[in-house]
Amino acid sequence: MVKSKWDFGVFQLFTAIFLSINLYVDITVVASSLTEPLAQQELDRVWELPGQNFNVSFAHYSGYVTVNEESGRALFYWFIEAVEDPASKPLVLWLNGGPGCSSIGFGEAEEIGPFHIHADGKTLYLNPYSWNQVANILFIDSPVGVGFSYSNTSSDLVNNGDKRTAADSLIFLLKWVERFPQYKGRDFYITGESYAGHYVPQLSQAIVRYNQATKRKAINLRGYMVGNALTDDYHDHLGVFEFMWAAGLISDQTYKKLNLLCDFQSFVHSSDACGAILEVADKELGDIDHYSIFTPPCTTNSSGSNRLLKKRHRVGHVSKKYDPCTEAHSTVYFNLPEVQKALHVSPEFLPSKWETCSDLVNENWKDSPRTVLNIYHELIHSGLRIWMFSGDTDAVIPVTSTRYSIDALKLPTTKPWHAWYDDGQVGGWTQEYAGLNFVVVRGAGHEVPLHRPKLALALIKTFLSGVSMPTHELVSAS
């Protein structure tokens, strides 16, 4: 169990960032003399994907950015420009969590990206609710060992943690905007879900501190938004157990034991006693999708099914019509050699098998602070736009967990709890605080854009606009 204090961890993170930045500066001086950024962009451009029987009006790119020359760590990215007028749209980064899960496999292929995968695992369809309707979207497989990201140093794969993930992600962004200079200074937002409840605020903090130290805005961070996000181990545990009990998923006896044995445990590094009672709870829940308790689970032998509660921090496996087996389709598609070639995956660094989540990364995770609420306090004062959202049918990091964590921030309410609407129907509920907005998405599970894609598009559109979620004005009969 990690016992170092978070403040000391932040100091270590910031030190690591600046060591890496010094290396980065040296690298870019050399790289700029060798490769013209626009030429590298063209090398990264994806012209067509296997199984794509439709045309698109936007450009997209994929490839690697080396974040540490010494060890050979490189992060894989997929960047998809906005459908219309990308020069006028903000840049949005999406991160999935795990830790150890692919933002390509989840975020792009079944949530907010335009290219979604049919059940045959070979053909694609266009997602009409892709977030590139309103923004340029960037996906990163982070950290190394996840998806197509790699390291030449094998020990890197078993030494990942929150600190290095934030440091490497900052290096990635600084180098990526050198490759895509047209996005330098562009309004930039970070979004993500689940364990990215750590990644997103930690990376935001790293960017803010880097900008303050260098007295320039190489990355023009304007805000961040996280969904069903791991935020504070104690409050998240309280919320998980309360949600499962209130929904009738577990017994009174198990509910009491969960609170007794797990409330003060780490989500990532829990005790054996906590793990044992979580297994009991898992059996009581039965064969349901913990990430979406009212929809059917996947009935294939997908590796992602029923890993909870032990693996409750992993993103779920929950599209035109709802399909609970989308994770299985991604596994087939991204293992096709022709797909890997189209995405510029280097055969030299290709994993033996592409997987949605890496057990090696997950099971060897080093540092995971018990809370990121202190980062919220710091960044709220920096003036960033900060939103949290929750699908209300998720039993992994449920709406109750996020409400407990927000309550712990002790922020004054500026707009009380009320319903928000989409096309005349209640889309969910929202409350606004001084420095933070909270949005519940009605009927959504852990992966909100998967279960409620239309509502998720309304959410990101409103977030980027910097206004409140739309309310429904009743029209009186004349």
| Residues carrying an active site annotation | 194, 394, 446
* Cα–Cα distance, 189 to 292 (Å, whole number): 27
- Backbone phi and psi for residue 56, each to the nearest 5 degrees, phi listed first: -125, 150
Within 10 angstroms of residue 442's Cβ, the number of other Cβ atoms is 17
The token duo for 321 is 């019509």
- Could you write out the three-class secondary structure of 431-463? EEECCEEEEEECCCCCCHHHHCHHHHHHHHHHH
Side chain identity at residue 442, one-letter code: R
The residues pairing with 200 across neighbouring beta strands, listed in sequence order, are: none
Closest by CA position to 310, among listed 348, 388, 362: 362
Closest by CA position to 343, among listed 77, 65, 38, 118: 77
Cα angle 275-357-189, degrees, rounded to a multiple of 5: 105
The token duo for 67 is 């974040």
* Cα–Cα distance, 339 to 41 (Å, whole number): 19
- 166 and 202 Cβ atoms separated by less than 8 Å: yes
* Cα–Cα distance, 304 to 306 (Å, whole number): 7
Within 10 angstroms of residue 211's Cβ, the number of other Cβ atoms is 16
The Cα-based distances of 110 to 9, 164, 285, 297 in angstroms read: 34, 27, 25, 16
- Backbone phi and psi for residue 429, each to the nearest 5 degrees, phi listed first: -140, 160
Within 10 angstroms of residue 18's Cβ, the number of other Cβ atoms is 16
Within 10 angstroms of residue 138's Cβ, the number of other Cβ atoms is 25
- 184 and 46 Cβ atoms separated by less than 8 Å: no
Closest by CA position to 125, among listed 342, 302, 326: 326
Closest by CA position to 242, among listed 388, 402, 97: 402
DSSP one-letter code for 416: E
Side chain identity at residue 377, one-letter code: H
Chain centre distance of CA 24: 25
Within 10 angstroms of residue 33's Cβ, the number of other Cβ atoms is 8
